[in-house]
Amino acid sequence: MTRTSCDVCIVGAGAAGSVVAAHLAKAGLNVFMLDAGPFRSPEKDFASDELEMEKLFWDEPRISEGQDPLDLYRSTSGKGVGGSAVHYTAQLLRFHPSDFQTKTSEDIGEDWPISYEDVEPYYKQMTKRLSLSGPSTFPWKEFGDHFPYPAHHDLSNNTLKFREGLERAGYQHSVSPLAILSAPKADRHPCINRGFCEEGCMPDAKTTPLNTFIPEGLKAGVTLISEATAYRITTDEHGRATSVLYLLDGKQHEIEATTIVIAAYAIETPRLLLASSSETFPNGLANSSDLVGKYLLTNMNDHVLATFPEEIRMYRGNPVQALTMDTYLCGVKYGFKRGFIMNSYGLRPIRLATLFFDNDTKCVGERLRERMLDYNHYVSIAMLGEVIPQHQNAVTLSNQKDQHGLPIPKVTFSHHPNDESIRDKAKDVMKSVLKKAGGTPLYHLKAHAHLMGGCRMGSNPSDSVVTSYGQSHDVENLFIVGSPTFVTAPSANPTLTVYSLAQRSAEYIESYTKRAKG
Amino acid sequence: MTKDNHPSKTYYPTYDVLSQKNEWDNVTQQVIAERLHSKEGNVLSASHKRTLQALAKCLFPSHLGEQTLSISMVLDQRITNKKLSTFPRGARFTKEEIIIQGLENAERESIFHYHLPFSQLDKKEQLSILESWKGNDGEETIWNAIKSHLFYSTLTSELIKIIYADPHIWSTIGFAGPAYPRGYYAFGPHQFDEWEAKPHDENLL
Ligand SMILES: Cc1cc2nc3c(=O)[nH]c(=O)nc-3n(C[C@H](O)[C@H](O)[C@H](O)COP(=O)(O)OP(=O)(O)OC[C@H]3O[C@@H](n4cnc5c(N)ncnc54)[C@H](O)[C@@H]3O)c2cc1C
Ligand code: SF4
């Protein structure tokens, strides 16, 4: 076993981990960052191909059970430097002020220990650092404002029809705020409308950790170790975290650190904590509340497809180009809580054919072929719906072992009745929008996107795992960053908040670590 | 368009995505070339492959007339390259384990009922076995750990991915395929780039 030491060791080089690493290295700390997957170059390691680019997803076994078992692969995972943000669709929105207080405002879910005002300065900072493009007047200012790059103007037929339907149905609509360049920036070119954003952006027009925080961090001296899987956090007799044990090339290694940061997304973060149980922490690390792994969250991301007489060709341009937020809090009007947003959402053939089969196991052979022959006549739109936090939705460790002898995580998920109300309403609204646009709605395809929760933040150690800075209530020098700390699953996409809260945590971790080092 | 006047055939009989392949970036060209001329993997046996081919013909009868990949070779390659190492939803076996064990079970079931390998059965007999798997656990003596419905859904999902990764299928549905470094520049209703399939709906404009 090799042994190294540093000031801060970060597990996971995705959206959150890369922000923290860049900040701490620039602040003069000695930072090591591990990622379980490879360090890929868009030009050499990406292809314009759905099947090939499955290599970006998490490729190790996970058990997915419950009444509504989640897909833990295609839409909810990433493995490799840059994390899931390498192949995100890059619609980046702020959360709404009410998202941080759903318990107080609508008596559902739980309040966050922070408010919109706490995050706002970081939203502003990240909007600039990520070179977001968006309209000069965004109808819903709480969700985004002052975009440094102009809105994308090459809108696909899929998007034009969606906006036409919204216009006729009386909804406001707008081009989406995107972390996609609409004009050149230094040596990066603007988007060429290739459409394979969810397969990784070869032209590098999409802003991801790979062209921002990772190079910034490396320049400032971060030691990045790829294809290194952390499997245990060790602790000493005082209950402090001492080191990260990881596997690289089949061998075990150890990094000792003053501060340890886990940024391994919503399944692997609780998995690592639970697998790090010891005599001092028999229930798993940072788990005195028994809430590690609990309140796992996702978003509903159902699509509705309608046929149109003319050719649409939904493969053209980035998948998600326009949206409406008018339905964000529509539940109040219809007798349920919270709500959803709607997007135009183009699908490539494998994704569409798979969704057809996932939603109807009879859709094979001739039935699938008939549907797919109409591919160029479909308009596809999608909702992103809030999912209510539930204690029973959880990541636990199973008795089954993986190839390294480590326990395989088990994810249990079932929807709350409120989720179903949101889903039903969104289906009706999407159908009516498509009808207004002149289409014939045919298919409602259920799906999910994003993972959050599993290590929720809070002020009280008995009902949360970490503070709003991600610091463990139980283990002072252990931090968790990224979407696992989320308390609720707002229907605005999560990653602008992931980046922003990671920056907020990074500043806290900097002062904590400098103090701890003496 | 309604079901009654659905053509059940391609709108783009002359379109060939592959005619554009020299415009694709090198990495994508190589990926697609390897898929089209897939080499033998080293996991599936000859008997697995025979059963698999027969099943694919039952599951995707008309696609297969259009589709040009060797499904069994591509699947074998994917298994060999550890692409099927995750569990499907609701399962505690890898996709690889489910497919290999399922192919063996299919063979056993065929011999049990008809005293012949699956690939040598009549289409009607093959379809009746396949039909019995859908939504069912399967014959207890044959399908014990891995249930027949799990094999059916896992195999079908994997085959769907391979079929819709075939450039010839892309041509039939009018999908323009890889688009780097070229991108799309013609936007607005009825505007398409000249290298895409020619619009077939011009008479509707
Ligand atoms: C297809 C897709 C589309 C999306 N679209 C959008 C969108 O439009 N807008 C939006 O806001 N969000 C979107 N998202 C979500 C977004 O990608 C995530 O919210 C974000 O990446 C989460 O950041 P993270 O740092 O918490 O996790 P990640 O970015 O996933 O990073 C986690 C990293 O940890 C590594 N890791 C895990 N376990 C270990 C271990 N044991 N040892 C070492 N390393 C480990 C992983 O390899 C990974 O690189 C999308 C996601 C997907 C998959
Ligand atoms: S559509 Fe734009 S952002 Fe998406 S992959 Fe293509 S160039 Fe990149």
Question: Concatenated DSSP letters for A438-460?
Answer: T-EEEEEE--EEEEE-SS-B-S-
- DSSP states along A311-362: ---TTSS-S--EEE-TTTTTHHHHTSSS-EEEEE----HHHHHHHHHHH-TT
Q: Which domains does chain A have, with CATH numbers?
A: 2-45+54-517 (3.50.50.60)
Please state the pTM of the whole predicted model: 0.97
Say whether A236 sits in a helix, a strand or coil: coil
Residue nearest atom 4 in ligand 2 by C-alpha distance: A197
ipTM tops the 0.90 cut = yes
Interval A211-244: pLDDT, tens: 999 999 999 999 999 999 999 999 999 999 999 9
Q: Tens digit of pLDDT for each residue in A69-101?
A: 999 998 899 999 999 999 999 999 999 999 999
For ligand 2, atom 3, name the residue with the nearest CA.
Answer: A206
Q: Specify the pLDDT at position B2.
A: 43
Which tokens hold the place of A473?
């209530």
**Structure confidence at residue B3 as a pLDDT band (50, 70, 90):** very low
User: What ligand 1 atom has the least distance to the C-alpha of A34?
Assistant: 43
Q: Which of A227, A265, A320 to mutate to test the pocket of ligand 1 (most atoms within 8 A of CB)?
A: A265
* Tokens (6 digits) for B143: 């399908």
> How far is the C-alpha of B88 from the C-alpha of A69, rounded, in Å?
10
State how far the alpha carbon of A216 is from the alpha carbons of A23, A178, A201, in Å: 9, 21, 19
The pair phi, psi for residue A18, each rounded to 5°, is -70, -35
d(C-alpha A178, C-alpha A297), whole Å: 23
Residues A357 and B154: their CA atoms lie apart, in Å, by 11
Q: How far is CA B153 from CA A149, B70, B90, B94, in A?
A: 45, 20, 11, 13
B204–A310 C-beta distance less than 8 A: yes
State pLDDT tens for residues A376-427.
999 999 999 999 999 999 999 999 999 999 999 999 999 999 999 999 999 9
Is the pLDDT at A512 greater than 90, yes or no? Answer: yes
Would you kindly state where each structural domain of chain B is located, as residue ranges?
17-173
CA A46–ligand 2 middle distance (angstroms): 12
Paired strand residues for A225: A34
Instruction: List CB contacts (< 8 A) between B31 and chain A.
Output: 47, 49, 52
| Distance from the A432 Cα atom to the nearest Cα atom in chain B, whole angstroms | 18
pLDDT confidence of residue A311: 95
User: Could you identify the residue written with the tokens 């997803």?
Assistant: A57
Q: What is the H or E stretch that residue B167 is in?
A: helix B167-173
Write the residue in A61, A192, A374 that is nearest to B86 by C-beta. A61
User: Nearest 10 degrees: CA dihedral of A306, A311, A312, A315?
Assistant: 110
Question: Which residue of chain A has the CA closest to B89?
Answer: A64
Position in ligand 2 atom list of the atom nearest CA A195: 1
Residues with CB under 6 A from ligand 2: A 180, 191-197, 201, 203, 205-206, 317-318
Size of interface A-B (CB pairs under 8 A): 189
**Which residues pair with residue A63 across a beta bridge?**
A410
pLDDT at residue number B68 = 78
A5-53: pLDDT as tens digits: 999 999 999 999 999 999 999 999 999 999 999 999 999 999 999 999 9
